[in-house]
Structure 1
């Protein structure tokens, strides 16, 4: 590495500390560091010797034209650049240096840096520069610049510094994107700043950090670790993704085409939910509207009032079509249409033509949908009692009654959780396959808030959400919805459907029982008191329910026949009221309840890795803070890791914000009278600054449910906090508190600034709000080229259905407190990737990541309870920025022979291994390989990086073709053994003298065999192996010894000759004219008797083979 400290300004004394620290990093981490302050050293020749250059506090016009050009060429062609501190001001006004630094503007900063102690968020949990650092580095002192133009979205930010603080002095995160104006911006200003970021520049890499502006910073291991990771990435020693938060790296595709202008929802209904199969098919449901422009029957007195179409569609990417995913009608099939209660227009909450939110409310695929269990689970309000909500006895409804469906005289409707079988061959629901898992009756007289989202955990437990089914109007849209006045009760069964004045059954048939639960025992159903639903341990409404559907459910829905209750060993632990709890045994609690105290739990997602449940729910409708009732409405989002109560209708933000208790009141104009301490309401404490004004619920403790409509426990669990709560008064709004812990809400506090009102999530705000969650993203393993990068892995995605300026963010949470109401560590705005202009007036009704790692978004119509054919649909957001950098970059040199030269190109890394498709291997930054044949061949380069990760890539080479012809001859099998011309002789033996006599001759050997053996033997019949005299009457006592030597075998040993062949030499392959010396020995002892005359013996030499 080359560290450059030159500057056109005054030299910063911290630069020497930085250079020394970087040298020390090099020593520890095995790279060489040179330093210079000479601008002339920034030249092409010198830079070519370095993998990266680090500019430390180099500001101004320090480089001449040649230096600027050399640095630009160096980076664009694969070199690395790291800029630190004052380098933000390097060569201002130069377009390339704007790109290199990542900042723009005639002056890139708004004034000089200022030094202060702040909290730093290390956002990127996978980049080498930040992955080992704390999520939040607190109370860190450095010099901070304010940028003229915010680089967010144009660079990949890996660290930000917080400047948003709340009255206690602690910092809170913001998204670093200015979105608000006027009073909102004043009360929750955008003060957060990017401080470290990176980007790829053609083949090279650039990293800038504003950290390291003090001497103390360079002895801080977090800062030096940050710089080390930056250097290692920029130099290519390690890989990293510096593209994840650059908005131009994402592509938008509309998957569903607009419906044709007909009376049928050909491609999409009133979309309100989706579920994605593991093979990429997207199944999505439409609530109730049958088509664009449908004339909905909205008068209770009319037959078939609210009769609607609950549509089910599938988008199948594998279906052949137009060759593109963009609005290809061939990929979309309507697989079913249920008859539902719900198409009743968009009128008032109650009355002759009131609106409804019923219909299909949720959809989820069986966990083994693609593995032999093609089941679709649907939450819906059937219109009739037969299958799929059709009339019993009809062709679609079948002969069996599944339940009562919609009962118009009673203003009651059946809510069904059913399982259907899907036939992929016909792309339709299998007739007769509906299995009702769970159902119950609920009031449909008053709109709204029904929930409906569903998802499975890793053990096959099904979570499904419900809403509190309680109206805004009876509560004048203010405070916690606790107006128990009998005026706001459903009409008694049989009440004429054309009479709506004073028709509440609690009025027409008053109940004498005034004790807790008395109205419920009289059969009265409130639509003004959410303590009947959300706060009621014995009701299904206002809950997150959890069951385990049975693999083969029976015909009668219930525990043990169609589902079981998860026990304490289930992910996230036991139910809120386990089956063996006294509350369940006494009939005071539903064992299916996992969480309670939610208003309209509309959106849930279960994390595939941890099983944490991401939830988001719609709040009440109080538009402004009230000194009488408390905080204005807030929307809530929470990560759930255990069962619990989340406070509604007593509290907001879980347990954070107190509502004033209400006394019943028949007037919808105030929604109930605010209670005072003198009313002696259990569970309340004094409000107001003096602690004596009004009676507010104590959200820190177990809460009482003394509602006349309560059928459950009278003391319910203490509420838990949510992670996010926001509304018209801001994001995560909080207040000063009195001695009782009750919030003190000032008048007009929607626009009140801190410290009276402060916002702990200043990135969140909204007028009409309805949060939706895509859950926690997990990057899929394996090949998924368009998957959102690992930067997003583990982040919690939230959007908002109801407003284009509300929350649309990915949140980084702290695992230590994320299921305990912990606030986000950081928030990344998604408005650059999913802009408001994309959907126009549409809304994000559901979001989910597919198995391909793409984000799928369902967009609802431009207004409620309708369909807009042009805008309603399914969209996909894909990452197109490419792989982490650097990556393997194998290069093959042009060749005119079968030998190809390879090099690593711009791979980076520290070691390299090559494998070739014909079996060869090599190591090193360069390699040569000779291919045995011509044609197309593949070589694979595997690069090992400094963090011990590896990455591989293939390169294809074309080897010149080889044309061959056969030329040859035949060889006659030959074994040739020719002995020397002179026979060997031992000379004169001397009797009585011990001596070994020697003799030798030669042989010439030719063999065309694959192997051959030279042997010697004595095939005579008289004393084989021994010399004999004359006619054999005298035989020497000792045998002849023999051996053979040649160049390859110069030191063979002598052995006795006998009648058996003695092996002298072996030839493992063919040989031509091998010169062999044959040597013989005759030992004679002193007492060996000798007879005068001649001794001799004929020896037979054989050259033999077993090969052809």
Structure 2
């Protein structure tokens, strides 16, 4: 409820171009008395102010002017007498206006006289800056004048305490975007500002991690998703006090509001702020947008501008006519989406688990196509695979099957489709082993069917199938037409207490199934790796330079290497992606099962994401996270802990190792998370071994948490300026890496930014943005994320696995998330100086 209009006992003044006079003193008694009178008066906004349309007619208020006459009004009512902050703010804004390129210059006037908002001269200004000290500074008519000004296309910039101004006005609260919490830190503290918007003129020139002192406000309600946040403050870098907002703490934002443009920054609470070069750059960009000197996108991070649409229907009973057991997708240049089913069937089909039965584990790995022209689904083909054993314990269930799909870089011409799968025809029931294939097939463009007789087998290697799990499966291309193939460690999750999968004892007919040193940690084994090959026209492949090994390395005792290995030491990399702009490889893999760290055995389960810029060893089963070691174990008593692994010089001393003993040093990973939080770290002793005491843990990525967790790596988005698509995601997301989890509770579903200086070297992400309201979660949303990629139309395509394991169900679906926020604002024809349109 607004208070009644009060008489202002001040002489009206307009201060031209920053030259200021002494301001009147507002006493505490006057302000409190006025507010109290307003509360007692009981006048609602509807009765206290005239309609903006009526006021606009009364004032003959035009849209803000253009051409050379660009003006900014700085309003500073309710600040204390001779406030250093106001003085510094006016001086900074005046300097910004008269410096820089002529095309972006403007003049300013400053005043603390609120009657300016009821006078026709308000229409002379392109933008209004509130450099106010808080409180109720506008009467009903004046607020109506400001509202009419904004509706007419005016710009607004609020600085720091402006968020406390007009506390009884819902409209002004919407203009600002958020209100401060009742309690806030009052001391000046140095903190890290994460600059997530790399395109907006207010932030594009700022450091990714901007370290600066200020007084940091907390918010009653977090505005993220209702405003376009351009920067956030990292609460772990200072003491946020009572009312802290957590990992997502917006500090600067903007949006198109009620016909005009609004930008607010909670920075600028000290006079010294306005002397900072970077803070002035921040203000300059904000002023250029609010005055209509430049265009900018202030819609991209607002949740309501995205639409999630389910593209497939539930399968007909007993049929996988729409979708199989979702396991991966890829998009063609013509917009078709190819997606695969691993091999599980609906509950009407029998699951054979008896090893004496030749049909054991037999399933159909299906390739479906969704056509954007018809919005219909067709079945392109299916492969008979091993991998339909259903659920159960480690010695029953299985994750083999149709695991990955990629289209040839020249698919439109040659129709070549690459599939990563486990053919049922190649299993050995006696030894309980199988062969994994990467094969090339040809799709008939006319019929939309896969020619199974066209198969060219590029690569094959053995896998054990006595025990579950970790098949991997993802594939991706780089710009040089090298094909990356992700393989799991082919190792049981049990038998190690949920810590390092390094138990050499369990085996079937001599083949170990619980020792990942046989696979992921073995330089002579293709499991637990990311392979890199160059497919040739004749169905063979060559090895590109720069892989981890050449295949020619040997050591005393016969240990050797495989030249296909690009990355070793990964556990279950189901999804990988290559950034087409940089050729950086992005991968994620699931960790072991331990729910807490152990001072005996090492870290808890860490699910991992890594940005990979060169061949390397990423640690499993020796080290995880930021080079945190596990304890070694060996025969004759694997229950007895031995020494800690040396992450800088790991050795593979497993009895099942047929590769090199001395391994490449471990490379730290980019993101890791556990049930306790994101990026756990611990104090280390003189030998570099972490304490692993849970109470001593710190969490370097507070936006992350696990529990039931299974990483689902996503793409890096690249904005296509030339695309005419009306659904493409905006340029705001360009260069951001999408990381997610199969589950949808506290686990990640974020877009992150990495620092180019540290990416690939174990550097942490510098910024993360939650996507859970853009990509809906929950029972009727995308609850079990299985894969996600951007299509050529710039929309995001996603697979929801469904609500069961090793099957497809009514929730298994292909989804699409599109953007409808529109172009940057103001409209190109409304930019006041045409040569500055961007």
Fold shared per TM-score above 0.5: yes
Q: TM-score, normalised by structure 2?
A: 0.88
Matched, 1:762 2:709: no
CA 1:255–1:801 in 2, change beyond 3 Å: closer, same or farther? same
Matched, 1:604 2:576: yes
RMSD: 2.1
- Which of residues 66, 78, 86 in structure 2 aligns to 1:15? 86
Q: Is the 8 A contact 1:810 1:827 kept in 2?
A: yes
Partner residue in 1 for 2:24? none
- SS in structure 1 at match of 2:91: helix
How big is each residue's C-alpha offset from its partner over 1:933-957, in whole Å with a ceiling of 9 and x where there is no partner?
xxxxxxxxxxx32xxx45xxxxxxx
The within-5 A match list for 1:629-644 is 629-644=601-616
- SS in structure 1 at match of 2:453: coil
Question: In the TM superposition, what is the alpha-carbon distance from 1:582 to its structure 2 partner?
Answer: 5.3
- Which of residues 191, 203, 225 in structure 2 aligns to 1:118? 191
- Which of residues 401, 407, 410 in structure 1 aligns to 2:428? 407
Could you tell me which runs of 5 or more consecutive residues in structure 2 were left unpaired when the two chains were aligned.
1-70
The within-5 A match list for 1:867-882 is 867-868=808-809, 870-882=810-822
Question: In the TM superposition, what is the alpha-carbon distance from 1:803 to its structure 2 partner?
Answer: 4.5
- Which of residues 138, 144, 150 in structure 2 aligns to 1:75? 150
Partner residue in 1 for 2:646? 698
Separation (CA, whole Å) in 1 of partners of 2:603 and 2:452: 50
- Which of residues 577, 589, 604 in structure 1 aligns to 2:561? 589
Report which of the two structures shows the higher radius of gyration computed on alpha carbons: 1
How big is each residue's C-alpha offset from its partner over 1:161-219, in whole Å with a ceiling of 9 and x where there is no partner?
11214xxx9x99xxxx99xxxxxxxxxx8255211100001331000011112121111
- SS in structure 2 at match of 1:268: coil
Separation (CA, whole Å) in 2 of partners of 1:635 and 1:433: 38
- Which of residues 208, 214, 221 in structure 2 aligns to 1:135? 208
Separation (CA, whole Å) in 2 of partners of 1:347 and 1:111: 53
How big is each residue's C-alpha offset from its partner over 1:914-949, in whole Å with a ceiling of 9 and x where there is no partner?
xxxxxxxxxxxxxxxxxxxxxxxxxxxxxx32xxx4
Q: Is the 8 A contact 1:79 1:204 kept in 2?
A: yes
Separation (CA, whole Å) in 1 of partners of 2:494 and 2:249: 43
Could you tell me which runs of 5 or more consecutive residues in structure 1 were left unpaired when the two chains were aligned.
179-188, 320-327, 385-404, 491-504, 506-523, 554-561, 568-573, 667-671, 677-694, 890-906, 912-943, 951-1108
- SS in structure 1 at match of 2:163: helix
Question: In the TM superposition, what is the alpha-carbon distance from 1:413 to its structure 2 partner?
Answer: 0.8
CA 1:711–1:44 in 2, change beyond 3 Å: closer, same or farther? farther
- Which of residues 741, 762, 767 in structure 2 aligns to 1:826? 767
The within-5 A match list for 1:38-117 is 38-104=113-179, 109-111=182-184, 113-117=186-190
Partner residue in 1 for 2:49? none
Q: Is the 8 A contact 2:345 2:807 kept in 1?
A: no
Q: Is the 8 A contact 1:842 1:863 kept in 2?
A: no
- SS in structure 2 at match of 1:877: strand
- Which of residues 275, 287, 312 in structure 2 aligns to 1:231? 287
Q: TM-score, normalised by structure 1?
A: 0.67
- Which of residues 795, 812, 833 in structure 1 aligns to 2:736? 795
Partner residue in 2 for 1:673? 639
How big is each residue's C-alpha offset from its partner over 1:847-900, in whole Å with a ceiling of 9 and x where there is no partner?
1111111111101021211211x20010011111111111224xxxxxxxxxxx
- SS in structure 2 at match of 1:75: helix
Partner residue in 2 for 1:1037? none
Partner residue in 2 for 1:540? 526
Question: In the TM superposition, what is the alpha-carbon distance from 1:645 to its structure 2 partner?
Answer: 0.1
- SS in structure 2 at match of 1:8: coil
Q: Is the 8 A contact 1:293 1:867 kept in 2?
A: no
Separation (CA, whole Å) in 2 of partners of 1:241 and 1:367: 33
- Which of residues 831, 834, 837 in structure 2 aligns to 1:908? 831
Q: Is the 8 A contact 1:735 1:745 kept in 2?
A: yes
Question: In the TM superposition, what is the alpha-carbon distance from 1:838 to its structure 2 partner?
Answer: 5.5
Separation (CA, whole Å) in 1 of partners of 2:452 and 2:522: 38
Question: In the TM superposition, what is the alpha-carbon distance from 1:665 to its structure 2 partner?
Answer: 6.2
- SS in structure 2 at match of 1:530: coil
Partner residue in 1 for 2:688? 741
Separation (CA, whole Å) in 1 of partners of 2:792 and 2:133: 46
CA 1:415–1:585 in 2, change beyond 3 Å: closer, same or farther? farther
- Which of residues 248, 257, 265 in structure 2 aligns to 1:209? 265
How big is each residue's C-alpha offset from its partner over 1:638-682, in whole Å with a ceiling of 9 and x where there is no partner?
0010000011101111x521111113367xxxxx32424xxxxxx
Partner residue in 1 for 2:66? none
Separation (CA, whole Å) in 1 of partners of 2:210 and 2:168: 33
Partner residue in 1 for 2:825? 885
CA 1:334–1:836 in 2, change beyond 3 Å: closer, same or farther? same
Partner residue in 2 for 1:289? 344
Q: Is the 8 A contact 1:577 1:583 kept in 2?
A: no
Question: In the TM superposition, what is the alpha-carbon distance from 1:147 to its structure 2 partner?
Answer: 1.0
Separation (CA, whole Å) in 2 of partners of 1:292 and 1:607: 39
Separation (CA, whole Å) in 2 of partners of 1:543 and 1:472: 17
Question: In the TM superposition, what is the alpha-carbon distance from 1:295 to its structure 2 partner?
Answer: 2.0
Question: In the TM superposition, what is the alpha-carbon distance from 1:87 to its structure 2 partner?
Answer: 0.4
How big is each residue's C-alpha offset from its partner over 1:587-616, in whole Å with a ceiling of 9 and x where there is no partner?
710000000001111110000100101100
- Which of residues 628, 634, 638 in structure 2 aligns to 1:663? 634
Separation (CA, whole Å) in 2 of partners of 1:866 and 1:64: 64
Paired residues in the alignment total 761
How big is each residue's C-alpha offset from its partner over 1:240-265, in whole Å with a ceiling of 9 and x where there is no partner?
11111111110011011111112x20
Question: In the TM superposition, what is the alpha-carbon distance from 1:302 to its structure 2 partner?
Answer: 2.2
- SS in structure 1 at match of 2:692: coil
Relative contact order, higher structure (CA 8 A, sep 6+): 2
Separation (CA, whole Å) in 2 of partners of 1:144 and 1:803: 31
Q: Is the 8 A contact 1:482 1:661 kept in 2?
A: yes
Matched, 1:724 2:688: no
CA 1:600–1:720 in 2, change beyond 3 Å: closer, same or farther? same
The within-5 A match list for 1:904-1053 is 907-911=830-834, 944-945=835-836, 949-950=837-838
CA 1:192–1:276 in 2, change beyond 3 Å: closer, same or farther? closer
How big is each residue's C-alpha offset from its partner over 1:114-143, in whole Å with a ceiling of 9 and x where there is no partner?
4211111121100000001111112x1112
Separation (CA, whole Å) in 2 of partners of 1:273 and 1:100: 43
Partner residue in 2 for 1:2? 72
Question: In the TM superposition, what is the alpha-carbon distance from 1:54 to its structure 2 partner?
Answer: 0.9
